[in-house]
Amino acid sequence: MPTLPFQADSIADLFVRRLGMTPDLVAVSVEGEEATYGEVASLEERIRAAFLHHGIVAGDRVASVTANRIEQYALMVACAMSGVVWCPLNSGLGVDDLARTIDLVQPVAVLAESSAADKLASAGDTDINVIRFSHHTGSNFVTFEEWIDIPGSGTPTRYTLRQSDPFCMIFSGGTTGLPKGILLPAFAPVAGGFRLNEALQPTQTEVCFSTTQLFHAFAVCGWAPFCIAFGHRYVLAPTWSSSRYAEWVRQSGATVIDPFVSMMGMLLNAHRDEAPQILGPRVAISGLGGADPVATRIRREFETQFGVPLLDTYGSAEAGATVTRHHVGEEYGPGSSGTSKGWYSIAIVDDQDRELPNGEVGEITIRPELPNISSLGYWRQERETLATRRNLWIHTGDLGWLKPNGELYFVGRQGHFIRRRGEMISAAEIEHVIRELDGVRDVVVVAVPSELGEDDIMACVVADVDAEAIYRWCADKITPFKLPRYVSMVDAIPRKPPKQEPDRAGLAANEIDRAWDSQSEVYSPR
């Protein structure tokens, strides 16, 4: 059982503790704009005053739809201090995706960047209370500054969250069906920050430069609480850019960075002819690289080219952002995702949930060894919650194997969801869109290897229309990062007995060589 460095029940407890110790310390920076803990405290108090003024109380849900910004960071703190459930949504969602997600969350207010506010307006839901983070000519929505401008408001009373109280809702692609709202308890971020500290073993004040958006579990249950708890500087990139990444890292003075494997591949391509060690941090921490051969090669080349040692992790929003991880100063086998250090039990099981011996590949299942360090379940989806937690284990839908010493080797996903450019994407969501096209009789969406690591997306379709028509239909309906790169026209979808489930692995292996590639725009064997 792990030993906790100090007591805290929520990210609010961490923030109040840090504010009392170092109010003038810079808490967060985004593209040259920075705020100290004292300045964040002033802003989050104004947000809480706005909650009170507008009748938003503990247990209500407030969504944010924006790329990284200081106001969103302050909103996170304000929600933790008021008991309001924070629901950060992916700012890249398209109109339909965003409307469907908002309909599931049913927030009392949405704080949105201009592009997201425009999408909400075009969705036609006039009942949503939308607050723009920035002014936009012609908008009927109130701006953030107007919304928090409450004359004569004092400091609102803090609401004390218990460890098991809901704190935020993270959306992630599920193993089946459409993306789900994963409800996290107040203690989950605290535990995640402690685990990250345990892995990094900092001996100095760190500067953590991250391209991870605040709507991701690794930010909420990793970087943010780690930096608050231990006084490190949190530098957030507004977005991902392979051409600007090295410049951003150097300007920030970063000692720790967090590129995903696909980002490492893009950085290697962008800086292939430059001198090595152009970045400078002492360590990089990444996730879900696993034992995949392409990912393993990219990680090795990244360490050589940039002189930055890599720590791998494995986790999920449901179980914990860093269930297993490498630790500074410890040796691991190639492709290892590290160990849990007593925070979780991990079992590899077959399709009947029977535990498999060490070394055999099966589904990764997880059981927390401390209360309130994993999710509370899926929002408004009780049946899916119970199915994922059958037999008292969290079923990840991921495949892997264990060494006798507890090292986890993640080897892939079970086919119903795809990881692309750091985003989790539901195959069922894309399949649903394609099925709506006239002439489509059957479709299965699968992950195929990307030359950048992680996955690309291929749609295998039985239809009377051609591949380009299917791609163009998707381009009009689907958020860009979810678009299939490949479309393969097939006579029938192969299925496996006894349940007649699609043979996703067979499709991925056999159809990729004859698929239409949107990047080449030539429908012929590659």
Residue intervals of the chain classified under CATH 3.30.300.30 are 423-517
Of residues 421 and 264, the one with the higher pLDDT is 264
383 contact partners, CB below 8 Å, separation of at least 6: none
415: pLDDT strictly greater than 80: no
How does residue 295 score in pLDDT terms, banded at 50, 70 and 90? confident
Q: Report the CATH number of the 187-213+224-413 domain.
A: 3.40.50.12780
Burial of residue 145, with CB atoms counted within 10 A of its CB: 0-12 exposed, 13-18 middle, 19 or more buried: middle
Using an 8 Å Cβ cutoff, are 93 and 169 in contact? no
Tell me which residue has tokens 């607050």: 131
Output the CA–CA distances (angstroms, integers) from residue 443 to 77, 279, 488, in the order listed.
43, 43, 10
| H/E segment holding residue 180 | strand 180-185
Q: What is the DSSP letter of 219?
A: I
Closest CA to 90 of 257, 219, 234, 188: 219
Q: 287: which 2 tokens?
A: 């996730």
236: pLDDT strictly greater than 60: yes
Q: What is the pTM of this model?
A: 0.85
Class of domain 423-517: alpha beta
What's the mean pLDDT in 34-51?
A: 97
Using DSSP, state whether 468 is helix, strand or coil: helix
pLDDT above 90 covers a percentage of the chain that reads 65
Average pLDDT score, the chain: 89
- Burial letters 319-334, b for 16+ CB under 10 A, else e: bbbbbbbbeeeeebee
Diameter of the chain measured on Cα atoms: 69
What does 230-290 look like in DSSP terms, one character per residue? HT-EEEE-SS--TTTHHHHHHHHT-SEE---HHHHHHHHHHTTTSPS--S--SEEEEES-T
Using an 8 Å Cβ cutoff, are 444 and 416 in contact? no
Rounded Cα distance, 64 and 43, in Å: 16
Rounded Cα distance, 56 and 187, in Å: 22
Rounded Cα distance, 196 and 324, in Å: 10
What's the mean pLDDT in 272-300?
A: 79
Q: Is beta strand 207-210 parallel, antiparallel or unpaired with respect to 233-236? A: parallel
How does residue 126 score in pLDDT terms, banded at 50, 70 and 90? low
pLDDT of residue 498: 45
Output the CA–CA distances (angstroms, integers) from residue 286 to 293, 309, 321, 442, 494, in the order listed.
16, 11, 11, 37, 35
Residue intervals of the chain classified under CATH 3.40.50.12780 are 11-161, 187-213+224-413
CATH of the structural domain 11-161, one choice from 3.30.9.30, 2.60.40.10, 1.10.260.30, 3.40.50.12780? 3.40.50.12780
pLDDT of residue 107: 96
What's the mean pLDDT in 446-463?
A: 88
pLDDT of residue 176: 44
Q: What is the pLDDT of residues 164-199, one digit of tens each?
A: 999 999 997 544 456 799 999 999 999 999 999 999
Output the CA–CA distances (angstroms, integers) from residue 509 to 209, 294, 462, in the order listed.
37, 15, 17
Kindly give the residue spans of alpha helices, DSSP state H, lying in 345-491.
Answer: 382-388, 427-435, 467-477
pLDDT of residue 161: 97
Of residues 330 and 425, the one with the higher pLDDT is 330
What's the mean pLDDT in 283-303?
A: 81
Using an 8 Å Cβ cutoff, are 428 and 418 in contact? no
pLDDT of residue 523: 37
One-letter amino acid at 412 equals: G
Using an 8 Å Cβ cutoff, are 120 and 102 in contact? yes
CA-based Rg of the chain, rounded to a whole angstrom?
Answer: 23
276: pLDDT strictly greater than 70: no
